Structure 1
Amino acid sequence: MNLKVRLAVMNFLEFAAWGAYLTCMGVYLGNLGMGAHIGGYFAMQGIVSIFMPALMGIVADRWIPAQRLLGLCHLLAGIFMLASAWYGHVNGTESKYFVLFSLYSVSVAFYMPTLALTNSVAYNALTKAGMDTVKAFPPIRIFGTIGFICTMWFVDLTGFNQTEYQFVTSGVVSLALFLYSFTLPKCEVNKSEGKKSFSDALGLQAFSLFKRKEMAIFFIFSALLGASLQITNGFATPYIQHFETMAEYAGSFGVEHATILYSISQISETFCILLIPFFMKRYGIKQVMLIAMFAWVLRFGFLGLGNPGAGIWLFILSMIIYGMAFDFFNISGSLYVDKATDPTMRSSAQGLFILMTNGIGATVGSVAAQQVVNVFTHQETMNGAIYTIGNWGATWSAFSVYALIVGVLFALIFHPKKEMK
């Protein structure tokens, strides 16, 4: 099978496992009466990303080939995600927060490192084949977004987005990727001999990147922008569905199929990914990151101004803008880190990038976002369903102002010495 096709299938399955629940888990948790804990679930993805991607990156660089470790992580992630689904199915609204949260936490602890490991496997294989990763990787990565969209639509059209079956879908896909990992291109581990320092032996040399001012600033702002990553994933669909409590919006397409409406964001990603090679080479990492930061300002702002009726065009604009907000930050940042680091620490460096973005950034962002949401909204039970209602407009405005401040500071402080060509 063609190398690019093999890597495309890997990316498809990688993100299909995530797309099954990431944007609709808030709805399911709300149905269980755990709406006040949505931020905690998304924060856990960040908490485990603080140490697990870096740890697994070290293991992949030193002891276990990245493609093999990728499979093992998905095996464990899939098993515990299925266990979460089983517990929720058996206990329903009587489910204990601590038990469900614990099972889910173990699953994401093994899933989150795979985001960096798939990048490492792809970059390693493309480099060995003599290809330019900046040109070759984005068209491959686009299939990850397609996989994400496919499972989003699947759980929406089947009604799984309201139930624990979204976790079942994710678990099954993870197990499929575990099996598929045996067909992936082989990655080498660094078996260089000679006397090593303690940090070298553990593969911690990736953290030495912080000694370089340019990289330190880049990673710090990656964390600050990473705080925005999970906000709409956690709260956009509960926000859209709260319009069901208003007679003028009840029964509208946006309310009835909030997950499909939200999937426009991922559809936008598929097009924006293809723009990355041009933008990276024409404008450089700073300008591309700035585009992402100001796209987040509009992403949040349009959500707050829109509605599922006459204002649905603002929702759609918000979803379209997400493509640049996410891709121009996440994928361009990953490519920048790959180009700026030595190949011997490729997996460790990618793990460090995930640590700063999906780890520290997303953890702080999810916890803070939950507090903001709690200040401006509250939960109410109507017609047997639980909704989060209140001043959502002020909530989205607060998020938009935050993204604006980060963007302005980045423009003033980050000055890369050499842009990627």
Structure 2
Amino acid sequence: MNLKFRLTVLSFLQFFVWGAWLITIGVYWFGTKQWGGEEFGKVFATLGIASIFMPALTGIIADRWMNAERLYGILHILYGITLFFLPSVTSPENFFWVMLIAMLFYMPTISLSNSIAYYVLKNNNYDVVKEFPPIRVWGTIGFIAAMWITNLTGNKDSGFQFDIAAVFAIILGIYAFTLPKCPPQNLIPKDATLAEKLGFNAFSLFKDYKMALFFLFSMFLGAALQLTNMYGDVFLSDFGKIPEYAESFMVKRSTIIMSISQISETLFILAIPFFLKKYGIKNVMLISMFAWVLRFGLFAFGVPVGFGLGLIVLSCIVYGMAFDFFNISGSLFVETTTDYKIRSSAQGLFMMMTNGFGAVMGSLVSGWLIQKYFTLPNGDKMWHEIWLVFAAYALVIAILFAIMFKHKHNPEELQEIKH
């Protein structure tokens, strides 16, 4: 079977088994279970907690002791088995612990899937820069497909969404064992210090003012991403409590509306080379931050019909720019400004700040804030005010970044990626 096709299947399923529940878990949590917002923030924080240390740990295992595809397969099988327990959990406290276990298995597979793809492509003389992006785009398509299936089968508010993800996770785990072997590369010298083995030497980057600022703002933007994942579908579904909107397409198919965000993501990826070349890395990251302001601000004034529906759709389109422009340009900034000896560790640090500490901060703080200040006695949420607060947060971050982060555009800096 064609290697690129096999890696495409891998990428598709990698994000399918996440998309089946990530966007709709809030509907299940607040609607079916009717649990609190602060507890929901803790549950979503499990993604960040797992991202802080698990990718580095599994990376060491794959570098030293076990084939990457085998470790990847084992983790997905364990992730799938754990997900099967979630629908039967009867308390938010127990749900947190089961979800934490699931995330400890799943989150490191994101970086492992990239490592497997890179190794297989390089080992078979493919141009990674040319061939990997079209393969990775199918991951986003898988995420969208899972969202649609969960919504169209009527499971956005049921525990069956976890069963859907679990079945395909186990299938993916078994499939991984059929992939080309990706043996340990032993790239870490045997006489390396413990800090070097764990990638801790990359933390020396915090001594550099510009890099420290970059990682700090990465954390703040990572928090913003959690807000839209946690509350987007819940927000749209809550319009169902208003009689005039209850039967609208947006309420019934809210997950499909939200999937416009992921569709937009695939399109904006194609625009990044143009923007980077013309405006530079800092300005592209700044555009991303202002796009987050629009993302939240448009939600604040959106409703399921007429002009308000257009605002919600536009917010979903803007999401592609908000997400891609910072994550990809930020990754390129790390690639072009760090020593090659710690470049992989530095990329891991970037992911730790965004998907780790940023995700934990965004999840916990937003859960507490909404529960304490923006939840009415009957449990309804003040969505207009919530989104305006989030928009103000993103605006403050964007203004501070524009003032404090100094980086001149050098058209030749992107050429360094090719060498």
Is it true that 1:108 corresponds to 2:110 in the alignment?
A: no
Find the counterpart in structure 2 of residue 6 from structure 1.
6
Deviation at 1:210, TM superposition (A): 3.4
Structure 1 unmatched runs, 5+:
89-94, 381-387
SS of the residue corresponding to residue 72 of structure 1 reads helix
Identify which range, 205-214 or 147-156, moves more after superposition: 205-214
Q: 1:397 to 1:193 in 2, by over 3 A?
A: closer
Q: Distance in 1 between matches of 2:285 and 2:320?
A: 13
Deviation at 1:304, TM superposition (A): 0.7
CA contact (8 A) 2:56 2:348 kept: yes
Identify which range, 13-22 or 67-76, moves more after superposition: 67-76
The AA in structure 2 aligned to 1:367 is L
Q: Counterparts of 1:86-125 in structure 2 under 5 Å?
A: 87-88=88-89, 95-125=90-120
Find the counterpart in structure 2 of residue 56 from structure 1.
58
CA contact (8 A) 1:116 1:351 kept: no
Find the counterpart in structure 1 of residue 169 from structure 2.
174
Find the counterpart in structure 2 of residue 319 from structure 1.
316
CA contact (8 A) 2:144 2:262 kept: yes
Deviation at 1:226, TM superposition (A): 0.3
Q: TM-score, normalised by structure 2?
A: 0.88
Is it true that 1:302 corresponds to 2:286 in the alignment?
A: no
CA contact (8 A) 2:281 2:333 kept: yes
Give 2:376's match in structure 1, choosing from 375, 378, 390. 378
Q: 1:47 to 1:191 in 2, by over 3 A?
A: closer
Q: Distance in 2 between matches of 1:19 and 1:65?
A: 27
Q: 1:131 to 1:286 in 2, by over 3 A?
A: farther
SS of the residue corresponding to residue 377 of structure 1 reads coil
Q: 1:308 to 1:192 in 2, by over 3 A?
A: closer
SS of the residue corresponding to residue 389 of structure 1 reads coil
Give 1:396's match in structure 2, choosing from 383, 387, 403. 387
Q: Counterparts of 1:19-418 in structure 2 under 5 Å?
A: 19-30=19-30, 31-36=32-37, 37-85=39-87, 87-88=88-89, 95-126=90-121, 133=128, 135-182=130-177, 183-184=179-180, 186=182, 188-191=184-187, 193=189, 195-310=191-306, 311-338=308-335, 348-374=345-371, 375-378=373-376, 380=378, 388-416=379-407
Deviation at 1:199, TM superposition (A): 1.5
Root-mean-square deviation over aligned CA pairs = 2.5
Q: Percent identity?
A: 49
The AA in structure 2 aligned to 1:119 is N
- CA offsets per residue over residues 251-293 of structure 1, 9 Å max, x none? 1111111111111111111211222333334433222211211
Structure 2 unmatched runs, 5+:
none
Report runs of 4+ in structure 1 exceeding 6 Å deviation: none
Q: 1:52 to 1:201 in 2, by over 3 A?
A: closer
Q: TM-score, normalised by structure 1?
A: 0.88
- CA offsets per residue over residues 372-404 of structure 1, 9 Å max, x none? 322112363xxxxxxx52421111011111111
